[in-house]
Amino acid sequence: MPELTAQVARAVAARGPYPLAMRVRDELGELFADAEFAEAFGTRGRPGWSPGQLALVTVL
């Protein structure tokens, strides 16, 4: 994630409760690398979401 995006997300989160997904990412780093899921995703069509992000959302 670009640093500017992280800074904006932290600034928005400072107004209310800190989202769980952001806390997990900040404390544990990248849990699921995209390379682990590369074989499960095709190469044709429009790009989808990051497989690592999808795995994290599934766990949460």
- When mean pLDDT is compared over 3-12, 14-23, 41-50, the highest value belongs to 3-12
Angle between helices 3-13 and 20-28 (to 10 degrees): 130
* Domain assignments of the chain as residue spans, ordered by start: 3-59
| Rounded mean pLDDT, 45-49 | 74
Q: Where are the alpha helices (DSSP H) in the chain?
A: 3-13, 20-28, 51-59
C-alpha torsion angle, residues 8, 10, 16, 17 (rounded to 10): 140
| Structure confidence at residue 8 (pLDDT) | 83
pLDDT in tens, 24-46: 777 877 777 777 777 777 777 77
In angstroms, the CA 10 to CA 15 distance is 9
* pTM of the predicted structure, to 2 decimals: 0.40
